[in-house]
Amino acid sequence: MTKKTQPKTTRLSEDVTKPQPTDPGDAPADTFDEKERATSVRPDKAAAAGDGHQTVNAVVPGDPITDPEPESQGRTETYTVYDNDNKPVEVTRDIDTGKPVETDPGDPED
């Protein structure tokens, strides 16, 4: 029988009155959300001590990381693909952004 491991689910918590909830083996500032950014804050040590906690969370989520939109440098590539009817179709793609480039279809062929 093979052992199945569960995916890590540690995320940063906003609660600064108790320890940071983590999966086993994770540190308090660990997160498995690639868009989440940690920032340090002043914890409420008195509230944590009053509840019997020996440690307290001092790391909360900050501003999320955004994906920058790459700017086009005007570099394109054109290649031929085939549609469902096995007819050739020319495709032009912007190399920098990965998006298709609008082209004038010209006269439609019947």
pLDDT at position 78 is 92
* Domain match, 81 and 58 both: no
Instruction: Please say whether the beta carbons of 92 and 78 come within 8 A.
Output: yes
What's the domain count of the chain?
2
pLDDT range class, residue 33, cuts 50, 70, 90: confident
Q: Angle 22-26-27 (CA atoms, 0-180°, nearest 5)? A: 90
**Does 12 or 90 have the greater pLDDT score?**
90
* Domain match, 22 and 52 both: yes
For residue 59, CA distances in Å to 6, 17, 31, 81 come to 25, 11, 11, 50
* Domain match, 55 and 72 both: no
For residue 93, CA distances in Å to 73, 88, 102, 106 come to 12, 16, 9, 18
pTM: 0.47
Alpha-carbon gap, residue 100 to 87, rounded angstroms: 19
* Domain match, 24 and 44 both: yes
pLDDT at position 3 is 59
